[in-house]
Structure 1
Amino acid sequence: MKASLSVAFMIFSLLLAFTTKTLLVLGAQAQLYPVIDIDGDMVVAGAEYYLMEWTGGAKSVNGGLDLSDRGRHQTCPLDVFRHTTHTFGRALTFSPAVETQENVIYQSSDLNIKFTGAPPICNNTTTAVWKVDSYDEKFGKWFITTNGVEGNPGAETLLNWFQFENLTTEAKHAYRIVHSPGGVCETWPHLSSNLGVYETDDGILWLIFHIRKDFLGLFPL
């Protein structure tokens, strides 16, 4: 098995996916801070976007995210993976745990992430909502899978919530994705960490809940 790595993402709007404009970061760290797409527009609930992995340069990205039936189950629900080529993958929508003015998505706020439809293989038997899967003893990982529940924040849906956190880098429009759902149920124990990628022997880059001691709490790269 290959090593797992933390990843950061840029957000591309569906209609303007090929733009190369850089972004502005709005607000202050102590305030509500909108998530910004590659065109400089605020990300809003319900609109379609692509997530592309940021590779370190101001405009450098790898492949986007998608679903695969080549994984652990080879059936639905399908797991999330990153394309190894420069392809946009499957479009996504975001929905916050708490309704916001003008449906704006804010950083460090709990939200659901959902692909815009699962592949035909699933026959509408599962949802395309992301969730952290149960610990996989064979791989020693928590994979990001689908068939989560959209909405209904609480103890029963803790594994379905994620957040965008801005990176303090030259690419101010790059974000890490974090699973830290304390805001939806403060009294319930939960794990908190970045999402990362894990390459299996067949070369597929799976999205995982990336537990590393130095990542907990401050979520550094």
Structure 2
Amino acid sequence: MTRCTHLSAITILLLFLSSLTKINAKSTSILDINGHPLEKKSKYFMIPLIRGHGGGLTMLPMNKTCPLYVAQETHEISFGLPLKFYPKDPKRNKIPVDMDTNIVFDASSICVKHSGWMLTFDEATGNRYVGIGGSIGNPGMETLSNWFVISKAENGMYDYKISFCPAICPACTIMCGDVGVFIGEDGTRFLGLNDRPLVVMFKKA
């Protein structure tokens, strides 16, 4: 093998390894529908994979007054309100798959000081709904209800599911579950933990 051929082979190998590194980095990050990794503080719409049963996500009350909960828009063509994502590791700019993450609406309301997602319990129904009021950061027992995990779904390259199973408090007893949909008497679709996860995609706002 000549010196030039040897150098060419090394160059090709290095380029191949570099491309593998980039692919692996992407695979560990959550991707939007254009294949770009989600970035901290950027705004995204969370839209359902299967259309025809509600649109993007918004904040709604259950009884026409505060508090607010996470719900799907009635019209499927609506993208809903934009969201921001903050991973447990503040040094990360890209949002990793399967890491505890704060999910926050980029919107305000007189009902709450913070617009982050938080898990709540409804004594009347026994359901665990995703409410509004969670703050950002400070992982620990006091903020346990504020952390959600975004994982790959099995449907396709850009499809994901949300679950509640934070790992920030190893000593805590946690009832884990996937985030799905509860349909109210008026047809409103509120998010909460059940055995039918809502599969979603992310679109840059």
TM-score by length of 1: 0.72
**Which of 34, 37, 42 in structure 1 is aligned with 2:32?**
37
In 2, Cα distance between the equivalents of 1:27 and 1:163? 20
Amino acid at match of 1:197: V
Give 5+ residue unaligned stretches, structure 1: 1-25
**Which of 91, 110, 125 in structure 2 is aligned with 1:139?**
125
> Does residue 27 in structure 1 map to residue 19 in structure 2?
no
In 2, Cα distance between the equivalents of 1:151 and 1:131? 13
TM-score by length of 2: 0.78
CA RMSD of aligned residues (A): 2.6
Query: Which structure: greater helix fraction?
Result: 2
Q: CA deviation at 1:66?
A: 0.1
Identical-pair percentage:
29
In 1, Cα distance between the equivalents of 2:161 and 2:147? 14
In 2, Cα distance between the equivalents of 1:145 and 1:82? 13
Q: CA deviation at 1:61?
A: 8.7
Which residue in the other structure is 2:83 paired with?
92
Q: CA deviation at 1:205?
A: 0.2
Secondary structure, in 3 states, of the residue corresponding to 1:157?
A: helix
In 1, Cα distance between the equivalents of 2:54 and 2:31? 19
In 2, Cα distance between the equivalents of 1:195 and 1:52? 14
In 1, Cα distance between the equivalents of 2:115 and 2:67? 8
In 1, Cα distance between the equivalents of 2:54 and 2:50? 7
Which residue in the other structure is 1:128 paired with?
115
Q: Mean alpha-carbon deviation: is it higher for 60-69 or for 82-91?
A: 60-69
Amino acid at match of 2:31: I
Q: Per the alignment, do residues 44 and 61 of structure 1 end up closer, same or farther by CA in structure 2, a change over 3 Å counting? A: farther
Which residue in the other structure is 1:189 paired with?
173
Q: Per the alignment, do residues 40 and 32 of structure 1 end up closer, same or farther by CA in structure 2, a change over 3 Å counting? A: closer
Alignment of 1:1-150 (within 5 A): 26-27=23-24, 33-55=28-50, 62-69=54-61, 71-72=62-63, 74-85=64-75, 86-101=77-92, 103-119=93-109, 121-122=110-111, 125-133=112-120, 135-150=121-136
> Does residue 180 in structure 1 map to residue 165 in structure 2?
yes
Give 5+ residue unaligned stretches, structure 2: 1-22, 200-205
Amino acid at match of 2:189: L
What CA deviation, in whole Å up to 9, does each residue of 1:5-46 have, x standing for no partner?
Answer: xxxxxxxxxxxxxxxxxxxxx439xx9710000111000110
- Count of aligned pairs: 177
Q: CA deviation at 1:82?
A: 0.6
What CA deviation, in whole Å up to 9, does each residue of 1:111-143 have, x standing for no partner?
Answer: 000001224x43xx421010001x212222111
**Which of 131, 154, 157 in structure 1 is aligned with 2:143?**
157
In 2, Cα distance between the equivalents of 1:47 and 1:193? 27
